[in-house]
Amino acid sequence: PKGTKYATSKNKEYEVNRDSHILFAKSQENIVFGNEVCILLEEGEEK
């Protein structure tokens, strides 16, 4: 879904990407374990 936020690991740092599709990611290497938590936290902060 558009507007979904998730964390990716780049240079040992976590970055939040927006407007990206992550339901079925082609490269699982860029997805950090616990990205669901990051999404919930991001949604909570906006509310």
Structure confidence at residue 12 (pLDDT): 44
Identify whether the C-beta of residue 6 lies closer than 8 Å to the C-beta of residue 17: yes
| Structural element, H or E, at residue 8 | strand 6-10
3-state secondary structure of 36: helix
Query: pLDDT per residue over 4-47, tens digit each?
Result: 555 555 544 444 555 444 444 455 555 555 555 555 555 555 44
Identify whether the C-beta of residue 16 lies closer than 8 Å to the C-beta of residue 10: no
Structure confidence at residue 27 (pLDDT): 53
The pTM score is 0.17
SS3 of the chain: helix, strand, coil, percent, to 5: 30, 20, 45
Structure confidence at residue 22 (pLDDT): 45
Residue 47 tokens, joined: 């509310």
Residue 28 tokens, joined: 């699982």
Structure confidence at residue 9 (pLDDT): 52
Structure confidence at residue 5 (pLDDT): 55
